[in-house]
Amino acid sequence: MGPVNWIAVVVAALAAGALAFVWFGPVFGRAKARKVAPGRIALRRRPELVAAITGALLLLTSAMMGHMFARVGEATLAAKPWLYFMMSGGLALAFVIPALWISFSHIRVPTRVALIDAGYWLAAYLGMGAVFLLLA
């Protein structure tokens, strides 16, 4: 196992956070409100707390991804750079998005919201993989 690239860990978490800011802001957001169920709106009462929790969890996710890439090793990743995207995207497609959809099905989140969130996680994980590739 090689060393974890901690600079890439931090930059990947920041990149995923920046993507969230854009994704859930001007691209798919609506003035601090999202429809999550028919007739109900979820308001963000403390957006700074949400941002802090999101940042901490993205850093945890990025650290685990960095550990995963370190386990594979620099030589293998240099010879097969597509593994960055295959592994990071695979995590999103095989674990994160199914878990999200299972949770959303229990609380009856509209399909549109679930697709927006699933799209974010796939894009965020692929973006984190790209950061690790670029900073390798």
| Boundaries of every domain in the chain | 6-134
- In order along its 136 residues, the chain shows pLDDT tens digits of 779 999 999 999 999 999 998 998 888 876 444 565 555 555 566 778 888 999 999 999 999 999 999 999 999 999 999 999 999 999 999 999 999 999 998 888 888 888 999 999 999 999 999 999 999 9
Q: Measuring CA to CA, which residue among 132, 62, 127 is closest to residue 89?
A: 127
pTM of the model: 0.88
CA distance linking residue 41 with residue 115, whole number of Å: 17
CA distance linking residue 37 with residue 39, whole number of Å: 6
